[in-house]
Each structure stands twice: as C-alpha cells, then as structure tokens.
Amino acid sequence: MRVLKYPRPVEMIVLVNAIGFGLLFFYKKPYDYFILIAGLSVILLVGFGYFAIRKAKLGDGYLFLISGMLSSIGIIMLYRLDRELGFKQIVWFGISIAAFFASYFLYRRYQVWERLTCYYPAISLFLFVATLLFGRSINGAKNWIFIGKFSIQPSECIKIIFVFFIAAFFNKYKEEFKELTALRFKKEDIKLYILMSGAYMHLGLMVIQKEWGTALLLFLVYFMLVYVLINNRLFMLINAGMASLGGIGGILFVSHIKVRVDTWLNPWKDIAGKGYQITQSLFAIGSGGFFGTGIGLGRPDFIPEVNTDFIFSAICEEMGIFGGVAIVLLYFILAYRGFKIALYTVENFTKTLALGLTLLFGFQTFIIVGGVIKLIPLTGITLPFISYGGSSLIVSFIALGILQAISAGPAAYVTRKEKLDGESK
C-alpha cells in the first residue's frame, strides 16, 4: 500500500528524471539509447548519495535531496540544449558528489578551520595572482586558469574562502565585538577596520577581474553577516555608504556597469546590440507562458549564454513560469534548511559559517534569476547547481558538503537541536 502514501522526496527525484529523460528519448528519432543511460546514471548518483547520508546518519536529510533535484533539472535541460554538454555535466555531477563527501569528511576530520584566520586572505590573493599570471579571458573577464584540457574558475573558490575568513575573524575577536555597542573611534575599533579591509580586499579582487556579480554577492553576504554578528548601526551605515559610493561611482565611470544599468532600464532602445541578451531572455520567458512549451519544443537555443547564465530563461520557456517558480521555491527551501542549521548551531564559528554559506546560495540565486527576468540589472553569475560548468557545480557541492557537516553536529560541537531532541524524548 506504499503507493497510496505520499511519495518520499527521493522518489520524486527519480520520477522527474524518468519523465525528463524519457521525454528526451522519445523526442528525436533515431532513438538515442545513450539518453537512457544518462538518465539512469543521474538517478543512481542521487540515489547513492541519499542512501549514504541516510545509512551513515550524516546529518540533514534534505539538503542533498534539494540540490539533487535542482541538478537533475539542470542536467535534463543541458542535455536537451546540447547533448555533449549534458554528458559532461553528468561527469561533473559525479565528481561534485565525490567532492561533497570529501569536504564533509575533511571538514569534520580536521578541526583547524577556525584557526586559519590570516591564511584565508592569503589563499585568495594567491589564487588571484595565479589567475592574473596564468589566466585566460573568456567573454571579457580574465578569470579562467587552464590546466591541460581543463579550465577552472578560481573566483568560485574565493567565494567559500571569503565566508571562512569572515567566520574565523569574528570567532577570534568575538569577545571584543560583543562589547562593541557603539563605535568609539578609538584604538579598540581597529579590529573592525581590519575586518572591513579584508572583506573589501576580496571585493576588490572580484572587481579587478570584472566579476561584478560576484562582487555584489560577496558584499551582500558580508553586510548581512555584519548585521547579524555586530549589529552596530553606525558601522553598517559606513559600509552601506561605501557600497553605494562604489555603486554610484561604478555606474558613472565604468562603462560596463553603466551599460548594464541602461539595458536594465530600457533594453528595447538597443535591441540588436546591448539589449540583445536580456530581450532574448524575455522573449523566451514570455513564449513559455504559464505551462511552458514542453521539453524540446521551445527555442531556448535563441538565447545567448543559455547554458550558464541564462539557463533559468530556458527552463521558464520549456517548463513554464510554474516550472520557474518551482525552481525558485526549491532554492527557498534549501536556504530555509540552511538558516535552520545556522539557528540550531551554538558554536560561534560554525554558526557564522553555516549562515554565510546559506546566504551565498540565497543571494546568488536572487542576483542571477532577478537579472535574467529583468527585475534587477543583469550581472553574469551562475545559477547554483543548475548552470553548466564544473567549477560552479563542484564549488556549490563543496559548500553544501560543509553545510551538511555542520548539520551533522560533530562530537566536538553539541548542537542545540540534539539537546532539544533529547529533552523531548
């Protein structure tokens, strides 16, 4: 009688993959049996990850499922757009799951993370310099390093390092920050300014690499963490002031940012040129309607950069606005699980880390989805778990692995949740 009960989440993922890849299989003649193999391997990968987490009791049971669902939809879409890319993404997905478990165990095995405060910015700088020296530019931003046949994007790693840095710094000076109810403009404030310059250094690195989207993302994460951890109005005001100064300066003096804002306000003015990307994205979303054209029946190939930045528009075209909203809701429950983990964690460093990583997912989704639907100016960053790209996918799963490790509440850290669970029993 199990059939009549609510399906378990993992069964829904299996169902989505079966339907998605099944449709792709029947869509084109001659039948490509490889599609079935691809679908099966995605199901096996998600299934393996899920049962490993369940059997070994590795913490939160939903994080992996939600991201597994998102990645499945991403792979189906990529497979539909370009068979070869879809296959590559499945390989990346396999590697990502390995990275997920690796980061889970590494994070728990070594308890050094909160002590590396000064090393994080150093690593970021090192990665940055390496990119400058060995990097090659793709689409105008010099942010790729080629190692043999593979290319990696160091800025993706810098996102996680950035969160580690802030968490470690706060943890180190938590006593001092606790007493800081008002800025005194004295020697004691110096820690704050060190934090600030550390954070802005990371932002600066992104700006130099012309990764405006990531810079904005890092600022938002930083700003929210400052709000939660320091809660000093004046300090927040200073940060907000500097950010708006930087933003306005960017709009006025950096032609690239000015163009982004202009095309956001009116993309129809230069529809063949600067407004081309965003208008094509809007055409795609509009022609999908509420229910979508159906997988394989739309023309998302008309959208530029559809595999990476604009994949949300392709999903909206073929799966409809309802499909798009479902994706957004999946991200929301992912963020919700993350917030819950942050709330239940007691230890200072881990709490900040959990919150920071969650915000990374949340804001990144908002920035890119909001960008492609023209809610906010477009800045090119990837959609976590869905966009094509090894770096992006692996880094997302590493961040998720760390979140998973925190949720498991290692022996050293007693989580409030377990305490509560214990009491209620």
Residues in touch with other proteins (CB under 8 A): 27, 224, 227-229, 231, 268, 271-272, 276, 279-280, 282-283, 285-287, 289-294, 297-299, 302, 316, 321, 324-325, 328-329, 331-332, 335-336, 339, 342-343, 346, 351, 355, 359, 362-363, 365-366, 369-370, 373, 375
- Minimum distance from residue 295 beta carbon to other proteins (Å): 12
- Tell me how crowded residue 244 is: count the other CB atoms within 10 A of its CB: 10
With respect to other proteins, which residue has the nearer C-beta, 25 or 336? 336
CA–CA distances in Å: residue 57 to residues 51, 219, 281, 409, 420: 9, 35, 42, 11, 18
Respond yes or no on whether the N-terminal peptide bond of residue 30 is cis (omega within 30° of 0): yes
The CA-atom distances, in angstroms, between 376 and each of 224, 283, 306, 312 are 19, 17, 18, 15
Question: Closest distance between other proteins and the C-beta of residue 360, in Å?
Answer: 11
- 75 versus 315: smaller Cβ distance to other proteins: 315
The shares of helix, strand and coil residues in the chain, as percent rounded to the nearest 5, are 75, 5, 25
Look up tokens 């990374």; give the residue. 360
Smallest distance, other proteins to C-beta of residue 48, A: 30
Instruction: Kindly state the smallest distance separating residue 53's Cβ from other proteins, in Å.
Output: 24
Q: How far is the CB of 319 from other proteins (least distance, A)?
A: 12
Calpha distance 406→400 (Å, rounded): 10
Given a contact cutoff of 8 angstroms between Cβ atoms, the answer to whether 313 and 284 are in contact is yes
Q: Which is nearer to other proteins, 143 or 365 (CB)?
A: 365
- The β-bridge relationship of strands 135-138 and 150-152 is unpaired
Q: What are phi and psi of 7, to 5 degrees?
A: -70, 145
- Residue 150's φ and ψ, nearest 5 degrees, are -95, 150
Name the residue nearer to other proteins (CB basis): 151 or 293.
Answer: 293
E strands present in 271-315: none
Nearer to other proteins, 126 or 332 (CB): 332
Q: Which is nearer to other proteins, 138 or 333 (CB)?
A: 333
Q: Which is nearer to other proteins, 219 or 331 (CB)?
A: 331
Dihedral pair phi/psi, residue 18, rounded to 5°? -60, -45
Work out how close the CB of 164 gets to other proteins at its nearest, in angstroms, rounded to a whole number: 19
Q: Any idea how long the chain is?
A: 425
Nearer to other proteins, 24 or 99 (CB): 24
Token pair recorded at residue 350: 């881990």
Min. distance of Cβ 229 from other proteins in angstroms? 7
Distance of alpha carbon 339 from alpha carbon 333, whole angstroms = 10
Which of residues 121 and 323 has its CB atom nearest to other proteins in the complex? 323
- Rounded to whole angstroms, the Cα distance separating 189 from 206 reads 26
3-state secondary structure of 383: coil
The answer, yes or no, to whether the previous bond of 304 is cis (omega within 30 of 0) is no
Minimal distance in Å, beta carbon 302 to other proteins? 5
Nearest distance in Å: CB 44, other proteins: 29
Listed in sequence order, the DSSP H helices in 82-118 are: 83-109
Residues β-bridged to residue 146: 151
